[in-house]
Structure 1
Amino acid sequence: MTTGVPTAAAPVRFNPFSAEFRRDPYPMYRRLREHHPVHRTLGMWVLTRHADVRAVLRDRTFSAGLIPRQIARQADRLGVADTRRLQRLSVSSLVFTDEPDHRRLRALVNPVFTAKTLDALRPRIAAAADDLLARAHADGGFDAIGDFAAPLPLAVLGDWLGLPADVRPLVGGWTHDIRFILEPGLMRAEDLTRVRAVLDGFHAMLADVIAERRARPGEDLISRLLAARTGGGDRLDDEEIAFVCVMCFVAGVETTASLLGNTVLALAGHPDQDVLLRRRPELAAAAVGETLRLDPPLQLTKRLATRDVEIGGERIGAGDEVLLCLGATGRDPAVFDRPDEFDLTRDTRDHLAFGHGMHGCLGGALARAQVEIALGRLHQRLGVLAPIPGPDGDPVWQRHSFIIRGLSRLPLTVRGTG
């Protein structure tokens, strides 16, 4: 009988491209964490211990600016010309910037993402969830991803930005294309050309909306970004506002959908925890936190060392790339007891699923709110959700990304009312 966990004698072969890793990366994370936590492979260092990953995330001498460099390098290698707007998007995005640019953008964008703003969005999130469930549920079962988790964040963001109704059906496809910038090394020439054209179209649409909001401001996100000022009078220009909006979709849609899908899958696979959540709906936040710890949507992120540093007895040199396995940190037994169990009663505050330090995810609170509200609406409207028996009911993990862990299909059936 095999357990799925490599034996101590087996060599470490970290391969994030393998089908086995895609299905379940956690046995490999465990192997690395126990036997080779600072692992050199594929031209980079791979870190899997919570303490090591947290330390790098806090250390501002590790640069987050790898993606802009990789986009420029890939465009040059593939001979794709005129990627200037694509490169400007990457170098002016919070997630890819270092100081002092990062501090400036945070000062302008942070005040827009307030708890008060999030509270105002909650009724809209509930309404969007109810609308999707009303349209999706039929014949006693539905696909929790295609019918619910994937369209929910698109609907919420489209509403918050006040996008025209005629473009909202297009934004999901645009977002899927542009998100390739998160993994530039995977792009072929045709991918890069397509992403460049899609970004141009997305930007043109947003430019029109920004001009309209300047003339007639409201309470939407774009109006708030137009009004944002620092104490010194600094403001975002129109292109920067458009880029903030684009990155809200690129960084927020797939991760939120995956977080919701992974949470629903965990609850469907742990009926005792699902029953507990039904009895105590106030544990919705705990259910989301436990999924972020146990099976987070963002599995991997990279940093670039800008100085020589020692981690775990290994010398990491200036210019070395470091792969941080966020997905491994939530199962580190040095931090979490019974790390492979799904338990809504545990304290998950130390998880690193939304990063840590100055690059902690700005949209994390919005993602959590969407999933918490969505779980409540699922329970209230559909009753007990359970996997469909047989291969037709098997969940299908997405295959287009190596950094995101999420489902592309999760068929469920409804059993009673709970």
Structure 2
Amino acid sequence: MSHLDRLDATPEAERFPLVWQWINSEDPRPFFAELRERRPVLATPVCTLVARFDDVIEVLRLPAVFTVQPYVNALGTYMLAQDETPDHALDKSVMTAMLDRRDLPRVRAFVAAETDRVLDGAGERIELVGGITRYIPVRLVQEYFGFAESSAAKLQEWSYWAQMDGFHNYPWDLGADHERIHAEARRGLTEMKDYLTGLLQSRAAALKAGRSLPDDIVARLLQSRIAGPVGFPPEKLLLNVGGLLIGAVETSSQATAQVIEWLLQRPPRLDAAIAAAQEADPKTFDGHVWEALRFAPMSHYLFRKSAAAHVFGRGQAWETTIPAGTHVLPLIGSAGFDPARFARPDAFDPTRPIHSAFHFGWGHHACLGGHIAEVLIPEMVRRVLLRPGIRLETPIDRRGGPFPESLGVAWASGGAV
């Protein structure tokens, strides 16, 4: 029996748990393919799924219709929880200017050196999540974003609970301890606010006293002449600096761990990636990382809430109207394999452009620091794969949650290839 035939035979109240099981299965692509072919817009008692590339893009390019209202409880006034507001435009513009793309060679070099340093000190094996995939992004937050003299453990904790509350604490996250997650996130955000308040005050005092600051994002914001004329007061600075941490650690860790595991479990893909990793220009290697992440994505969906009724597939046999107030899950994990948009979508092709998938979202709410992640993630993967004889010892263990908590690898003695 097909997925949809089985779904239609299931009592309505039990349908969404079944759909949720399929979305979160080891390989949901057969379910997604069936949706694209037979029911591109699938309504359930909890939310509506949108499966085709063109319709997913339609959801993501219409922020006034498909809003990020579901994020508000977790993210408050942060720009990610706003749609086409003046504050959203201002905050994004200022922070984009601070996260200068000319920094990317510096960022990549820092990631390479830090990752090699950890691996060199590990002997011949390491638990990667604690040792690399969470640790290196935290180091980048400390050194490049400017979280000076911070506790690495606290940064990880704050990022973890904010990510849990912001992206894994909704009605469709079945089995989540919703109240505990929200409470832990609130506690962490309070601690982070206290830390950042002290940090900003001390660094502002250093500037006033004529002392120089390292070139990091906090220093740039404090020294920028943008802040005064356009109205970027201390509370905005604090909110947006905090957002840098929340967006950097857990997502980068998850993507890196999943790519490494996926490649190590597939020797032909691994061999090709290792060969590419040894080239001086990392562009070819990076393609292997992003294509692996298309097959092992961080999430198969995003979420929105409709502010108005909307018609999908107008004039098609499957034309569907969704009412205002509908929770909508644009299935990015399905859209990235839509044969109407991509040639040979089920084939592994490291030459595909990065926009063949939705690693950093799309449109109005695309990841602010996506360009940073474009060097952070593949360089961590690259340094690991350059260890001679690299092999998987223990696969990813999520310990009942959405994020990788451990991943063991080992290699032969000696330095990087």
Task: Give the TM-score of the pair, scaled to structure 2.
Answer: 0.83
Counterpart of 1:122 in structure 2 is 108
Which of 252, 262, 265 is the equivalent residue of 2:261? Answer: 265
Amino acid at match of 1:287: H
Greater Cα shift, 277-286 or 322-331? 277-286
User: C-alpha separation between the residues in 2 aligned to 1:53 and 1:26?
Assistant: 16
Counterpart of 2:400 in structure 1 is 399
Which of 194, 201, 208 is the equivalent residue of 2:191? Answer: 201
Say whether the 8 Å CA contact 1:66–1:302 is kept in structure 2. Answer: no
Q: Secondary structure at the match of 1:23?
A: coil
Residue correspondence of structure 1 range 167-206 to structure 2 within 5 A: 167-182=151-166, 183-185=168-170, 186-206=176-196
Change (3 A) 1:170 1:52: same
Deviation for aligned residue 1:366: 1.1
Change (3 A) 1:171 1:44: same
Say whether the 8 Å CA contact 1:109–1:228 is kept in structure 2. Answer: no
Greater Cα shift, 244-253 or 228-237? 228-237
Say whether the 8 Å CA contact 2:291–2:349 is kept in structure 1. Answer: yes
User: C-alpha separation between the residues in 2 aligned to 1:358 and 1:230?
Assistant: 22
Residue correspondence of structure 1 range 220-259 to structure 2 within 5 A: 220-230=216-226, 233-259=229-255
User: C-alpha separation between the residues in 2 aligned to 1:44 and 1:8?
Assistant: 16
Q: Secondary structure at the match of 2:130?
A: helix
User: C-alpha separation between the residues in 1 aligned to 2:338 and 2:369?
Assistant: 25
Q: Secondary structure at the match of 1:412?
A: strand
Deviation for aligned residue 1:39: 0.7
Seq. identity, %:
22
Say whether the 8 Å CA contact 1:107–1:230 is kept in structure 2. Answer: no
User: C-alpha separation between the residues in 2 aligned to 1:320 and 1:338?
Assistant: 33
Amino acid at match of 1:342: F
Amino acid at match of 2:204: R
Residue correspondence of structure 1 range 261-340 to structure 2 within 5 A: 261-281=257-277, 282=282, 283-312=284-313, 313-340=319-346
Deviation for aligned residue 1:290: 0.9
Q: Secondary structure at the match of 2:356?
A: coil
Q: Secondary structure at the match of 2:324?
A: coil
Amino acid at match of 1:180: M
Deviation for aligned residue 1:414: 2.4
Change (3 A) 1:196 1:278: closer
User: C-alpha separation between the residues in 2 aligned to 1:201 and 1:117?
Assistant: 29
Amino acid at match of 1:152: I
User: C-alpha separation between the residues in 2 aligned to 1:91 and 1:63?
Assistant: 18
Q: Secondary structure at the match of 2:401?
A: coil
Q: Secondary structure at the match of 2:405?
A: strand
User: C-alpha separation between the residues in 2 aligned to 1:395 and 1:120?
Assistant: 30
User: C-alpha separation between the residues in 1 aligned to 2:238 and 2:25?
Assistant: 33
* 1:59-100 per-position Cα deviation (integer Å, ceiling 9, x unaligned): 13234332354x2xxxxxxxxxxxxxxx6xx23323221122
Instruction: Report whether the alignment pairs 1:94 with 2:94.
Output: no
User: C-alpha separation between the residues in 2 aligned to 1:259 and 1:129?
Assistant: 16
Structure 2: tracts of 5 or more residues without a match: 9-14, 171-175, 207-212, 314-318
User: C-alpha separation between the residues in 2 aligned to 1:190 and 1:231?
Assistant: 37
User: C-alpha separation between the residues in 2 aligned to 1:200 and 1:10?
Assistant: 46
User: C-alpha separation between the residues in 1 aligned to 2:20 and 2:63?
Assistant: 29
Deviation for aligned residue 1:415: 5.6
Say whether the 8 Å CA contact 1:46–1:323 is kept in structure 2. Answer: yes
Deviation for aligned residue 1:224: 1.6
Change (3 A) 1:235 1:134: farther
Counterpart of 2:32 in structure 1 is 29
Change (3 A) 1:24 1:144: farther
Q: Secondary structure at the match of 1:323?
A: strand
User: C-alpha separation between the residues in 1 aligned to 2:291 and 2:275?
Assistant: 17
Deviation for aligned residue 1:271: 2.1
Deviation for aligned residue 1:202: 0.8
Amino acid at match of 2:50: L
Counterpart of 1:76 in structure 2 is none
Q: Secondary structure at the match of 1:410?
A: strand
User: C-alpha separation between the residues in 2 aligned to 1:239 and 1:399?
Assistant: 36
Q: Secondary structure at the match of 1:11?
A: helix
Deviation for aligned residue 1:399: 3.4
Aligned length: 385
Instruction: Report whether the alignment pairs 1:212 with 2:208.
Output: no
Structure 1: tracts of 5 or more residues without a match: 72-86
Change (3 A) 1:261 1:329: same
Counterpart of 2:133 in structure 1 is 149
Say whether the 8 Å CA contact 2:98–2:220 is kept in structure 1. Answer: yes
Say whether the 8 Å CA contact 1:258–1:407 is kept in structure 2. Answer: yes
Amino acid at match of 1:56: V
User: C-alpha separation between the residues in 1 aligned to 2:27 and 2:2?
Assistant: 13
Deviation for aligned residue 1:209: 0.7
User: C-alpha separation between the residues in 2 aligned to 1:34 and 1:45?
Assistant: 16
User: C-alpha separation between the residues in 2 aligned to 1:158 and 1:123?
Assistant: 15
User: C-alpha separation between the residues in 2 aligned to 1:266 and 1:315?
Assistant: 38
* 1:242-298 per-position Cα deviation (integer Å, ceiling 9, x unaligned): 222222222221111111112112221222222223323332220232134322213
Counterpart of 1:49 in structure 2 is 52
Greater Cα shift, 123-132 or 340-349? 340-349
User: C-alpha separation between the residues in 2 aligned to 1:231 and 1:254?
Assistant: 29
Q: Secondary structure at the match of 1:411?
A: strand
Say whether the 8 Å CA contact 2:137–2:248 is kept in structure 1. Answer: yes
Task: Give the TM-score of the pair, scaled to structure 1.
Answer: 0.83
Residue correspondence of structure 1 range 154-169 to structure 2 within 5 A: 154-165=138-149, 167-169=151-153
User: C-alpha separation between the residues in 2 aligned to 1:8 and 1:39?
Assistant: 10
User: C-alpha separation between the residues in 1 aligned to 2:266 and 2:215?
Assistant: 41
Amino acid at match of 1:64: T
Say whether the 8 Å CA contact 1:153–1:253 is kept in structure 2. Answer: yes
